[in-house]
Amino acid sequence: MEKLLIEGGHPLEGTVQISGAKNSAVALIPAAILADSPVTIDNLPNISDVETLAELLEEIGGTTNLEDDTLVIHPENMFAMPLPNGRVKKLRASYYMMGAMLGKFKKAVIGLPGGCNLGPRPIDQHIKGFEALGAKVTNEQGAVYLQADELVGARIYLDVVSVGATINIMLAAVKAKGKTIIENAAKEPEIIDVATLLSNMGANIKGAGTNVIRITGVDELHGCRHSIIPDRIETGTFMILGAAMGQSVLVDNVIPDHVESLTAKLREMGIMVDVADDQILVRSSENLKSVDVKTLVYPGFPTDLQQPFTSLLTQADGVSMVTDTIYNARFKHIDELRRMGANIKVEGRSALVNGGTPLQGAKVRASDLRAGASLVVAGLMANGVTEITGVEHIDRGYGGLENKLKGLGAKIWREALTEKELTEIKNS
């Protein structure tokens, strides 16, 4: 196990290339199960979630070949191998194995997923969708058992707007008999990306990116080649870093529309944000203004940027209120920011950030992926050295983070954990 060390206070300058989107990649890889010939996915991020999913595909008899940022998936010999334990617990997106395997084999056994601990993350809407398509679903000893004689299209209204449920139902429905209509569907760009891949495989999907998705089932899906959209959360993280420490940070290979809510908030804070076709230039400012922010479903402010954005707000003048309407317990980073000198109070779903307190380097722990991002932002702004453990969470979603930051002039490096630190973590 490793830790990240950051010597704070160095300005950032230069260009950073954004990788393919994690939350697309982790759905596109399971989607390939549905094809009957090879699927090639380009622009993959170099993250552990991608590795874990490729390994899961191998467990069910597939072969995968990862070279640079391209993954070739051979689904021809896959079978309905039960996956009740093991790797499925390492990430959230293993839930897509349910929809994809149900769609392909009409049965699946998948352990309940892992992923970031953000408070309760039920999958009742996924199950509701599978059942509406005709599957019998039971939950036994921490694994979900799915079985259908045949899948038949249905009208499914999501009680909660859910990215995972929308994609999972699409995966299960593309080969079902007849028409499926998903109402109150999520509209995130990653959903359009998955629908694009499935359509290129031969699926018939209309309305992805709106709140009603119509799918007409087809008998066969074939292989194809697909390039992943840029990661809007990595884009936003580097924009926040630019706002925090950037003399001038050019975030390259992005889709600016996907981060409009963040661009607007940064401008409200007094940050200069220049938007071009596929690049965003961010320059910090001496006087950051406090702002209130509320996370919402897309195109609202993304919950996945709430934590890194909170770190930036610690340096704004005045009090900012951060409200997470998606995950009410996504505040595990706050205690760690307090260790670094931040003045933040959590009240219910909101964090009140009393800005303008200088941050000091400290030993902190990333409890989840974006908590890790928030501590990296804080560490770069702080005086002295910050040591971040829990790096395995950061590695689930940010590929080559140190190299990208070093390229901008940051002083950041990795070290192996000492025996004492390993024991402390085990006992905590």
Ligand X SMILES: C=C(OP(=O)(O)O)C(=O)O
Ligand Y SMILES: CC(=O)N[C@H]1[C@@H](OP(=O)(O)OP(=O)(O)OC[C@H]2O[C@@H](n3ccc(=O)[nH]c3=O)[C@H](O)[C@@H]2O)O[C@H](CO)[C@@H](O)[C@@H]1O
409 DSSP 8-state letter: T
Sheet holding 319-324, edge to edge: 293-295, 319-324, 350-354, 343-347
Q: Is residue 304 close enough to count as binding ligand Y by CB under 6 A?
A: yes
The distance of closest approach from Cβ of residue 387 to ligand Y in the complex, given in angstroms and rounded to an integer, is: 26
Whether the Cβ atoms of residue 127 and residue 137 lie closer than 8 Å to each other: yes
**Which residues, in sequence order, are CB contacts of 382 under 8 Å at separation 6+?**
6, 8, 9, 340, 341, 358, 359, 360, 361, 362
Q: What residues between 161 and 200 interact with ligand Y by CB under 6 A?
A: 162-165, 186
The answer to whether 306 is a known ligand-binding residue is no
Cβ atoms of 271 and 288 closer than 8 Å: yes
- Closer of 195 and 369 to ligand X (Cβ): 369
Q: Which of 1, 81, 160, 212 binds ligand Y (CB under 6 A)?
A: 160
Q: Are strands 246-252 and 12-17 parallel, antiparallel or unpaired?
A: parallel
By annotation, the residues acting in catalysis are 116
Q: Which is nearer to ligand X, 91 or 201 (CB)?
A: 91
Please report, as residue ranges, which positions from 292 to 311 form the binding site for ligand X (by CB under 6 A): 304
What token pair was written down for 218?
């087809």
> Is 52 one of the binding residues for ligand Y (CB under 6 A)?
no
Q: Is 193 annotated as a binding residue?
A: no
326 among the known binding-site residues? yes
What would the DSSP string read from start to end of 325-368? SS-TT--HHHHHHHHTT-EEEEETTEEEEE--PPPB--EEE--S
Say whether residue 115 binds ligand X (CB under 6 A).
Answer: yes
Q: Is 123 in the site for ligand Y (CB under 6 A)?
A: yes
Q: In whole angstroms, how close is the CB of 117 to ligand X at the nearest point?
A: 8
Is 121 marked as a binding-site residue? yes
Q: Which stretch binds ligand X (CB under 6 A): 58-66, 85-93, 99-107, 167-175?
A: 85-93
374 binds, among ligand X, ligand Y, none (CB under 5 to 8 A by kind): none
**Residue 397 interaction partner, one of ligand Y, ligand X, none, beta carbon < 5-8 Å per kind:** ligand X
User: Is residue 155 a contact partner of residue 186, using CB atoms and an 8 Å limit?
Assistant: no
Mark the binding-site residues for phosphoenolpyruvate, compressed into ranges. Answer: 22-23
Mark the binding-site residues, compressed into ranges. Answer: 22-23, 92, 121-125, 304, 326
